[in-house]
Structure 1
């Protein structure tokens, strides 16, 4: 296994992969605090129920939940669409459902990234059938160039270019989730992973 080396904002894994920092940890932390204020401003007295999409949304959920004052609960859901590679299969299926009902609750769907919108479209349809009082979406990253489904987020951390990103919960074959920043992954001699 190649040892990761950090040099001038890049991590290199042997000769095959490199990561260039796109959004530093400090900017992520600051933006999440601002998003938490926006959410609480919109729902000043309500108990908020955050639903994280596993696995990528976990880092964002925990930091967002800790930044929102007042009563906050959370749950997790998992869907599959990417598999082991970097391009979406175009199909979304539920692999882990919520632990409790969301009926009558103010629900914030917490996603790491919004790109094609297929996953979010699927989740919004599913959740709307369960009759929440309010249903909103918070995404850390929005990649509008990749949008296929007509969906949008109510709260957006950062709008990013059409690059394959990892870190802060986002992965490439289950690797790099633990990076404290978001970075652009390059393969080989600067090649990009396929979408």
Structure 2
């Protein structure tokens, strides 16, 4: 699926496939430099982080293991509910491990704040966060995010794993969803 297939649904393309891949490679280089000689447990937050995590771990030169967690604070709307549910927990014991959480986007920070507290309670050696996108204007809680790809305006974006009602995840770019789609 490309931009021609959904042009009526988008206000504009925010980042192209090439721009995203360049940012992923830049993030991977920073992570490799910070984790020299250490194994990383990369934890993807489903479903949105699938694309980011797949491309990120392929760009890394460090040894990694991967696991997935699904948490939800979204219904079918565009705003965080603030209520977090674990839909799929990790299969890996975190005790003593260096954990890197991979997110597609951080907006309010409510879900990620809860997730951080949950993972820290499991005894990891370290927990850091890598996100492709962050919306600083949407933040409701302050979260220390070590690896941020791009900061974006407080608009509703889709593509490259990001969805609206489970649609648009398979776009290979990131675009701003036209308001007539979600209003």
Range class of TM-score, shorter chain:
over 0.9
Structure 1 unmatched ranges of 5 or more? none
Pair 1:11-2:10 in alignment: no
Instruction: Indicate the residue corresponding to 2:171 in structure 1.
Output: 179
Secondary structure in 2 aligned to 1:152? Answer: coil
Preserved contact between residue 90 and residue 118 of structure 1 (Cα < 8 Å)? yes
Instruction: Give the drift of 1:5.
Output: 7.0
Give the deviation of 1:11 after TM superposition: 2.9
Partner of 2:12, secondary structure, is: strand
Where does residue 100 of structure 2 map in the other structure?
A: 108
| 1:90 correspondence with 2:82 | yes
> Highest relative contact order (Cα 8 Å, sep 6+), 1 or 2?
2
Match of residue 154, structure 1, among 130, 146, 164: 146
8 Å CA contact 1:51–1:108 kept in 2: the answer is: yes
Partner Cα distance (1:19, 1:26) in 2: 20
Check conservation: 2:105, 2:131, Cα contact below 8 A.
Answer: yes
Q: State how far apart, in whole Å, the 2-side matches of 1:92 and 1:20 are.
A: 31
Query: Which has the larger share of helix?
Result: 2
TM-score (norm 1): 0.89
Q: Which one has a bigger Cα radius of gyration?
A: 1
| SS of corresponding position for 1:45 | coil
Unaligned runs of 5+ residues in structure 2 are: none
| SS class of match (1:12) | helix
Map Cα deviations across residues 75-125 of structure 1 (whole Å, 9 max, x no partner). Answer: 000111111121211211111100110111110000000110011101100
In the superposition, the TM-score normalised over structure 2's length comes to 0.94
Task: Give the conservation status (yes or no) of the 8 Å contact 2:10–2:175.
Answer: no
Question: Matches of residues 21-36 of structure 1 in structure 2 within 5 Å?
Answer: 21-36=13-28
Query: What residue number does 2:118 align with?
Result: 126
Q: 1:43 aligns with which of 24, 27, 35?
A: 35
RMSD over equivalenced CA pairs, Å = 1.8
